[in-house]
Structure 1
Amino acid sequence: MDILKMTRSIKPISGYNNLNYTAELEGRKVIIRVPIEDSEPMNPRMIPEAQMLSLLNNLEGFPVPRLYQSSEDPKFMIMEFIEGELINDVYPRGCRLPEQFIPQTVALLQKLSSLELIGNPLCTYFQDWPQSGDTEGFYLHMISLLEQTYLKLRGHYSYLYEMFELPDDLFERFRRIAGQLTPRPFVLSHGDLHRKNCILRNTEIVFLDWELSMIADPLYDVAVHLFKMEYLPEEQELFVGMLHDSLPTRFLAGFEHDLTSYLKAEQARALLIDSVRYVGQFHTAGTSEVLKKQLASKLETKLLQASAFWGNKCFSAEHIYDILSR
């Protein structure tokens, strides 16, 4: 069967890097996931998602979609369609999450931290990666990848970054932080846990989109999750407390300090990367006025979050909307 030919008659759900088609194959509902050919990944992709899903499918207790088929030429994946409610649709930011969400998310992170990396076939994708425990090296590597992406984007979006009045020592500020981090073992991480990547199926949370998974300091995964989730204050306190209590002691030295450092890095990444994405969406033909105002509001938030560290210039959503509309 020509899978890609079949998708031509299906309207996809488009992400930043993939097209997702819902289809019926062999009597079951599936998702056909096809990379967008011309997309420019703005985050490191280390482990092929099919390889990560295959590993987790063969382990007990990981609520993830089942992988049915993957192909490298042409590139596509066929995986289980998860019947349920997307967390972002029914519990958006500002709404209290279902009571099982935090315990099950903590359980996922705890299970990932318990997986043995020695001899794991996924380690072959990390030959030139910082060694487990080299938290300083990992932090510096992630900042270096962010800087490379920034330099690529700056050629086309220099006007945007100039408008933000970013400091001259943009990345040196982060490099000064690296030496203050505490060494801890690395783990397999999801890398992108947020409301749009979680489905409530009956009483179970199923975790989607493993394309940014990597071997990392576990607090990196936690920081990305906290930043993108925007928990209510009491929910964040509950999540951090439950996670701290569930992790082995080898992960806990420097927990609070290092988590704060990773959050700062994530705020910086979000401003540099998401601002470009928002501007692209803003100027895409057919973008509604409602969505344009939402994008301007999101950018206002990103500027405020990054300003505590960078001292960049901030603008109101209304001013951003006016600038981008010119």
Structure 2
Amino acid sequence: MTAKTFNDIPLSVLDLAPVLEGSTPEQSFKNSVELAKNVEQFGFNRYWLAEHHNMPGIASSATSVLIGHIAGATSTMRVGSGGVMLPNHAALVIAEQFGTLATLYPERIDLGLGRAPGTDQATAYALRRTLNQRVEDFPNQVEELEDYFAGTAGVHAVPGEGLNIPIWLLGSSGFSAQLSAQKGLPFSFASHFAPDNTVAALNLYRDNFQPSDVMNEPYAMIGVNIIAADTDEEARHLATTQQQQLLSIRRGQPMKLQPPIENTDEVWTEMEKAVVEQSANSPYTLIGSKETIKEGLEQLIEETEADEMIINSQIYDLKARIRSYEIVGEIMD
């Protein structure tokens, strides 16, 4: 197999629609539209939004609604979910929602599916009314969803039935890697928050891939955190926002996205610092100037042989966030 180069790899965007400290979800949606318009011009391949609930700093809970909003504000880029947490929903509802999106925006909608709740147990109960579903039920849910799109279920998804809506399986372990391989579907691994399992999961997916009506060969995308700026020093300053977010999650106290700070030692203990810095030093978290980011991306391509990368940039200031993606776009050029 010919080794991939940077020019072979499409780059995409993962947006959590962050709610900024001192701001509102309304402004978050405006920021997402502004970001989407810019990254489309920068040449990014797709724009995915992630389902989370009961998180004060994430506004993308009604994921399919926001996908429609972003698709309506753009014209060529693919827009989709990274992902919809299928156990939180009836498969028919997702088939109808994404059938509606694909009807409104033909050939532009992706449906990425995850099996985690994307929230805490109490919120999962509020969403589902029961926690009786097991991990083992997820393959059956995916199959039910596929049946609605294929028109082979006893109930008709209108719109949705007969539409070709790409289904991706998302994961941070080997479970979805193996299921994607068995079903011959594209696979996206959450290496931006589960870096240690990345290569093993990708190998599991590729080694067990079964060709399907969807794809003849495996297609794997990895997640990468990128904080890019004109200098390494500026990027490290911007990255303190993401570090504060990691700290708040570790403490079990999620909060709105915080502005960068000068001295991180003022906000964490030595033990917390070690944990956050370990995450920040992951090869799937790149912080720095254009040259630093390019070098890191090239190393990831060599290590993972990924077919595509999806980039998460938790940056407080919108202009700096757009500039970070612009720098990555310049690397693509």
Range of TM-score over shorter length: under 0.3
- TM-score normalised according to structure 1 size: 0.27
| Structure with greater Cα Rg | 1
